[in-house]
Amino acid sequence: MVKTRTAVADQSLDFALLQQTMPSHASRNRRALLWLLGLLLLLLASVVTLVLYLNTFEADEEARARAADAQWIEQSVQFHFRRLEDDLLLLARQSVQGAGKSEKLQLQGGLLWRESGIVLSHGWLAAEATHGANAGPQRWYSDRSAHTGNAQALATMQDTTRGLRRAAYAGLMQGADARLTDVVWLAVPFFERGLFVGNYVAALSLERATAAMVPTWFSQNHAVQLITDELKGAPDELTGAKAYRAALNLPGTDLFLGVTPVGVQPATVPRIFFLVALLFLLGMLVSLWALRRDFVKRQQVQALFAAQVALRTAMENSVTIGLRAWDRKGKILYVNESFCSLVGYTAAELLGRSTPLPYWPAEQADELHLVHRDIIAQGTREDGVEVQFQHRDGHLLDVLIHEAPLNTADGEQIGWMSSVLDISERKRSERLAARQQERLQASGRLVVVGEVASTLAHELNQPLGALSSFANGLLNRLRSGRISLEEVMPVVERMDRLADKAGRIIQRVNAFARRREMSRQRLDLAAFLRATLIQHQTQRQVSLELALGPTPVWVQADTLLLEHAVQNVVANALHWAPLADRPARVQVRIE
């Protein structure tokens, strides 16, 4: 008992109180004979069972081998065709973005692209030229016109690529005599900014592709032949009990590879297994005592492991920070309760999900996808990454994400462990502080209203005085009948410009003094300056030149406040330019 308590005390840092008490074992001396007899009977029963088992083992082993071979060949075919689709996507991007360039893409393609005789024809088929006579490769039109079934299959393939936004196949192509060939067409769509641009199409020879994809070591023991659903297993070599079919899984086609094992599998492996099993059964009597000692140690380790798991589970459930683990491909491996509460989804709904994740806002999906890709590639900075998540009920929340490498016991990184902190309240406080600052700035503008008022009186004095003079002069000449209609027009136009100028002065000062929120919008600065300063260009006493250039200059600004600032600066320049000792000239340019 003293030793047991000492062991428990030594394990106090591992929370040994969580461990269950090991049950005591009674003495086994009186049951040793029963154990021995039981093991002898087990030995005899095992020998008889192995003999019976050998009768069916070979058949089961062949079935497993066929299943494994079928799975391997299907995965190999899918890999090579997916690689070919990636190669054609690169060519599509080169065709769209590299149009007009002299250099050609040096494509280091996959097996199907490199092997000669597989890709019979390929080319770019633009969306607007899909039905044109001179668009795409020549073989495209020859196959489409060879048979009505070909045209229908190719049209379906094009609709599939446009509608489902993925690669599609069409075939097998039929000749003019309605006989099937070994040619299929592959179309890889290209989308630019979400819009369908066109397909990059290629004609493939499946017979040559099959010969290239099947390695030598596989073809030595198997006969591989391309079959279709219409053949219904017609080839004689595919009718045996050992023959099977492997699906090519090419969207838009029903094509299979018929595989028939060649030669007789050796039967030495089951017999060797039988001898080894006998040796192990005989060794059971010798290893029983060592196994009993191992059982005791294993129970102790299991109890300690269960205690540590319970401890870690309690720690994960107690923290308020969301925890999330994902692999190097972006698939979610683990989430804790805090993370589920943060986004409103259960763990069962999130585990195994990849991009796009359900808690991503739809309008920020592209931006979050780029952030997600950068995190998987290199993790996060020390200060983390701030993004927005969308709760299941629809409201947005700001979160701060820190990533740490998720490593195996031998140090290999298998993914990332994320800590997700809800900073919505902090962001809300920052936005409130910013609005308060804007209100303070608006209040500051009201302080200078008195000074602005004097400026307003000064600026309105000239146009109002001129209006009065023009009006009195015009009235006097009308009364005396010494003015014609042609002479009235320039005077009225000048009065209209002066009145418009006075109105704009009052509008700018009123907007500046009024308390309102900043309203920023995207505008072309060059076009804005032309429209704002057109009235000053009519002044003949000073030359106003606009050197703005033809290229738009996009900025974010409050239109009213910016117009007020520009009017003040240009008005000051036009006022002081005539006072210089050289010809008056004012130039406005953008740098």
* Domain 519-591 indexed as CATH 1.10.340.30: no
Nearest to 212 by CA among 179, 170, 257, 251: 257
Angle at 574 between CA 570 and CA 576, to 5 degrees: 115
Taking all residues of the chain, what is their mean pLDDT, rounded to a whole number?
76
Give span(s): CATH 3.30.565.10, the chain: 519-591
- pLDDT over 80 (residue 454): no
Cβ atoms < 10 Å from Cβ of 246:
20
Beta strands at 183-192 and 195-205: parallel, antiparallel or unpaired = antiparallel
The CA distance from 150 to 154, in Å, is 6
Confidence of residue 185 (pLDDT cuts 50, 70, 90): very high
The CA distance from 278 to 281, in Å, is 5
What does the pLDDT average to over 118-133?
76
* Distances, alpha carbon 346 to alpha carbons 183, 311, 317, 359, 549, in Å: 48, 22, 14, 12, 57
Give me Rg for the CA atoms of the chain: 42
- pLDDT over 60 (residue 227): yes
- pLDDT over 50 (residue 96): yes
Which H or E run contains 452?
helix 449-480
Find the range with the poorest average confidence among 138-147, 179-188, 460-469.
460-469
The CA distance from 309 to 285, in Å, is 36
The CA distance from 452 to 442, in Å, is 14
What does the pLDDT average to over 252-272?
72
Confidence of residue 1 (pLDDT cuts 50, 70, 90): very low
Strand partners, 326: 332, 416
Confidence of residue 397 (pLDDT cuts 50, 70, 90): confident
Classify domain 319-422 at the CATH topology level: Beta-Lactamase (3.30.450)
Residue 393 has what DSSP assignment?
Answer: T
Share of the chain above pLDDT 70, in %: 76
Look at domain 425-517 and name its CATH class: mainly alpha
Give span(s): CATH 1.10.287, the chain: 425-517
Give span(s): CATH 3.30.450.20, the chain: 319-422
Look at residue 29 in the predicted model and tell me its pLDDT: 52
- pLDDT over 70 (residue 32): no
Tokens representing residue 113 in the block: 């692209």
> Which residue bears the tokens 């919505």?
424
Look at residue 283 in the predicted model and tell me its pLDDT: 74
pLDDT tens-digit series, residues 353-387 = 887 888 888 777 777 778 777 777 777 777 778 88
| Residue ranges of E strands in 349-449 | 385-390, 396-407, 413-422
Confidence of residue 114 (pLDDT cuts 50, 70, 90): confident
Nearest to 192 by CA among 82, 128, 97, 90: 97
Look at residue 21 in the predicted model and tell me its pLDDT: 45
The CA distance from 222 to 211, in Å, is 12
Look at residue 188 in the predicted model and tell me its pLDDT: 92
pLDDT tens-digit series, residues 75-90 = 888 888 898 888 888 8
Per the CB < 8 A criterion, the answer to whether 62 and 164 are in contact is: no
Share of the chain above pLDDT 90, in %: 4
pLDDT tens-digit series, residues 493-514 = 877 877 877 777 777 666 666 6
Per the CB < 8 A criterion, the answer to whether 390 and 359 are in contact is: yes
- pLDDT over 80 (residue 551): yes
The CA distance from 65 to 269, in Å, is 14
Question: Which one-letter amino acid corresponds to residue 307?
Answer: A
- pLDDT over 60 (residue 203): yes
Look at residue 269 in the predicted model and tell me its pLDDT: 63
Look at residue 6 in the predicted model and tell me its pLDDT: 41
User: Which residues lie below 8 Å from residue 341, measured CB to CB, with a gap of 6+?
Assistant: 322
